[in-house]
Amino acid sequence: MYPLINHVTGVKEMKSLEIKIPEGLYKHIEKLVEEENFESVETFVSHALHWLAELHGFGEPIEGKGLSDMIADQIATKVETKDKEVKKEKPVVKNHDIPNTDLILESYGSSKFMFEDAIFASCQFAAMKQGNAPLSKEEFLKSLQQMEEAGILTQIQQGEKIMWKKNE
């Protein structure tokens, strides 16, 4: 549950919400909890609702832009119309041997966007499951930077939070 502040008392209040979701989605969320990506199903739902609310303008805008505007600015492709034909430029992915690329991309699963901390946590769990030592934060950040330079990922800054988009 997301805390609300009572403007009279200054105390954070929590509101309850009951939802019904498909069983398959619930099992997927439970799996994420079992893999220790989230503390509980409730924590997952709370994070998901907060991120969705940010996409729709909740929170403090940066330079007058919400998260959805920031994402749109980052992923918008140039469109040219020529003889009723629309052409889109695709990102150029250079072929580089970047350490940890497979591990980082595996963290995305079917997602296109992930917060940097979530990618790092997922990489740590995946590395440990594979019996490998966890990545250092410096090594992880260096790999992300190299992947951005190669056109594999795009960094999106939202206030103090960093989100990464997986380019196709």
Judge whether 125 lies within some domain. Answer: yes
CATH number at residue 95: 1.10.10.10
Classify residue 81: in a domain, yes or no: no
- 142: domain range? 88-168
Confirm whether 152 is domain-assigned: yes
Task: Give the model's pLDDT for residue 60.
Answer: 63
Question: What pLDDT shows up at residue 62?
Answer: 61
Model confidence pLDDT, tens digit, residues 131-166:
888 889 999 999 999 999 999 999 998 778 889 999
How many structural domains are present in the chain? Answer: 1
pLDDT for the residue 34? 92
pLDDT category, 126, cuts 50, 70, 90? Answer: confident
Residue 43 is assigned to a structural domain of this protein: no
Given this model, what pLDDT does residue 9 score? 65
Which of 5 and 154 is assigned the larger pLDDT? Answer: 154
Among candidate residues 155, 120, 157, 163, the one with its CA nearest the CA of residue 139: 120
Of residues 6, 2, 28, the one with CA closest to residue 15: 2
73 domain-assigned? no
> Does 88 have pLDDT greater than 50?
no
